Amino acid sequence: MTAEVPPFTLTVNGTQRTVSGALVTDSLLRVLRDQLGLPGAKNACEQGECGSCSVLVDGDLVCSCLELAGAAAGCDVRTVEGLAVGGDLLTDVQDAMVGCGGVQCGFCTPGFVVTIHDLLDRSPAPTDLEVREALAGNLCRCTGYGRILEAVRLVIRRRAGAAEVPMP
């Protein structure tokens, strides 16, 4: 029988959430999806290889399938659901992904979106090589990477002041 961790608090997308009943073996991914009702991070490989479960923990990009939920106690967690601010439905990254056709089945999309936000927050004008390196931990089987890379390039251009850039 697996033991439960004592109730703990996470700040998830700016809101304090109490987690109770989590097992010591529960991943942050399981708690986000099953206990906190945040289905954006996807459960695919459970080995940290595909990036579909990517979230930000205290500002660091992590695979939530590899993080123990109890170890995240007291941390600030940002999921794809919490990236849009000010009542916007989509972030500029999400808008560009849709507009450039960087979304097909959509399973990998939340991980890509979180990863792209993390990259552009750290480096507002990355080179193509830096973008490719940042996205190397995210796997996509449907869309292919060309459209996703174009979405990143579009966000970079728009954030640099080329707001009039039309969607491809």
Segment 50-72, tens digit of pLDDT: 999 999 999 999 999 999 999 99
Contact 85, 124 (CB under 8 A): no
Range of the domain at 102: 92-159
CATH code of the domain in which 62 resides: 3.10.20.30
Domain co-membership, 78 together with 109: no
Domain co-membership, 45 together with 20: yes
Task: List strand residue ranges (DSSP E) for 13-157, in order.
Answer: 15-19, 54-57, 60-63, 76-78
Domain co-membership, 48 together with 104: no
User: pTM for this one?
Assistant: 0.92
Contact 91, 83 (CB under 8 A): yes
Domain co-membership, 99 together with 54: no
pLDDT, tens digit, for every residue of 117-148? Answer: 999 999 999 999 999 999 999 998 888 799 99
Percentage of residues in the chain having pLDDT higher than 70 = 95
Number of domains in the chain: 2
Interstrand relation of 15-19 and 54-57 (parallel, antiparallel or unpaired): unpaired
Domain co-membership, 45 together with 103: no
